Amino acid sequence: MTNNKLLCVIIGAGQGLGASIATLFNMQGYQVVGINRTQVTPAEKGIAMLQLDVANEQATNTAFNELIEKYGVPDVLIHNTAQLYIEPFEETSAQQFETAWQSMVLSAFNAMKVIVPKMAQQGKGTVIVSGATASLRAGANFSAFASAKFALRGLVQSVAREYQKQGVHIAHVILDGILDTQASRALHSLDPADMMSTNEVAEAYMQIVQQKNSAWTHELDLRPKNETF
């Protein structure tokens, strides 16, 4: 191990929220390792990028153990993946349904299976998982996405209850709104005032990491002020 900085690993560190989280943690002095399934974007100074499909158990085990050998056990693990399908139920394929589950649930399972026990051995660590409106209620045409988000929330709740007494803080964040990105602006044609600033959401993630263990948040519900609920 050659790194003396606190380590933050972000699964799903591409444009948008993942990039904002990476930038903020980097600014706060963390060594940041961003993981993307497909294209690896150029890294800022202090941010390393890794191309990895975390739904692949063997590849994840190998890559994460190499990462730990190089940097040490992560102090923070953030799971920020999503695979969105908006299709009528009868037009949703089994492959889409399975891909959504692999992208969001299996990837979180594989990552936590490697990292969380090692955090527990050290008696510290924070895991934050990005949820969505669909984590709580499923809209029409979101059968694949919502069922995966429901399952992801259940996974996080179970692992949090198992490891909190060993000093591992595991939190699920419900993002009840549209994140303000170039892609979402083009898709939804919303006023940015009605969207969620990725930088401000990243600040909320940092606040979770900084919490003392007598008052941990295990689920945080975030939405812009104009969002109905």
Give residue limits of the domains in the chain: 7-222
Report the share of the chain in percent with pLDDT over 90.
Answer: 82
Beta bridge partners of 228: none
Helices (H) and strands (E) in the chain, counts: 7, 7
pLDDT at 194: 84
HSE-CB of 21 using CA atoms within 13 angstroms: 32
pLDDT at 184: 75
pLDDT one-digit tens code per residue, 136-163: 999 999 999 999 999 999 999 999 999 9
* Banded pLDDT at 180 (limits 50, 70, 90): confident
Q: From CA 129, how far away is CA 217, in angstroms rounded?
A: 12
Q: From CA 217, how far away is CA 150, in angstroms rounded?
A: 19
Report the share of the chain in percent with pLDDT over 70.
Answer: 96
* Banded pLDDT at 229 (limits 50, 70, 90): confident
218: Cβ contacts below 8 Å, ≥ 6 apart: 157, 160, 164, 170, 171, 172
Q: From CA 4, how far away is CA 31, in angstroms rounded?
A: 9
Dihedrals phi, psi of 174, to nearest 5 degrees: -85, 115
CATH class of the structural domain 7-222: alpha beta
pLDDT one-digit tens code per residue, 189-210: 778 788 899 999 999 999 999 9
